[in-house]
Amino acid sequence: MGQLTMQTRAGSHTIPAETGKTIVELAKQHKIVWGHACQRGVCAQCRTFVVEGAEVLNEVTKEEKLRLRKAERAEGYRLGCQIQLVRDGDVTVAHRPY
Ligand code: FES
C-alpha cells in the first residue's frame, strides 16, 4: 500500500493509500476536512487538484466530464467524490474548491 497525501488549507495529512474508496470517503474516515456536499459529482465543493499519482487513480468519470471544463481536467483537476485509487502507489492531492 502506498501513501496518500492530502493537502488542505489547514495543512497536509498523510494516510495509507487505500484502494476502492473515494478521496472524500478517505478524508471522512481520517477526520480530514475536505469540503463536499452531494457526493454525486454535482456541487464541485470537493474539487481536487491531483499533484502526483494520477496513474494509480480511476479513469475520469462521466460526472467529472459533465461538471469540470475540459481545460480544468487537462490541468489535473478532478472531483474528490469521484476519485478512487485503483492500484497501489503514492498519491498527492490538494483540495481546491472554486
Ligand atoms: S461532493 Fe459534490 S461534486 Fe463531489
pLDDT at 97: 96
Residues 6+ apart with CB under 8 A from 14: 3, 4, 5, 6
pLDDT at 84: 97
pLDDT at 5: 98
- Cell 492531492 sits on residue: 93
Question: Which is the closest atom of ligand 1 to the Cα of 80?
Answer: 4
Residue 45 Cβ inside 6 Å of ligand 1? The answer reads yes
pLDDT at 1: 81
How far, in Å, CA of 95 to CA of 19, rounded? 19
pLDDT along the chain (98 residues), means of 10: 94 96 97 97 98 98 98 98 96 97
The whole model's pTM is what? 0.96
pLDDT at 70: 97
Domains, the chain, ordered by start: 3-95 (3.10.20.30)
Q: Is 66 exposed, middle or buried (0-12, 13-18, 19+ CB in 10 A)?
A: exposed
pLDDT at 49: 98
For residue 50, give Cα distances in angstroms to 74, 82, 93: 11, 12, 5
Q: Where are the alpha helices (DSSP H) in the chain?
A: 23-29, 62-67, 70-75
Residue 86 Cβ inside 6 Å of ligand 1? The answer reads no
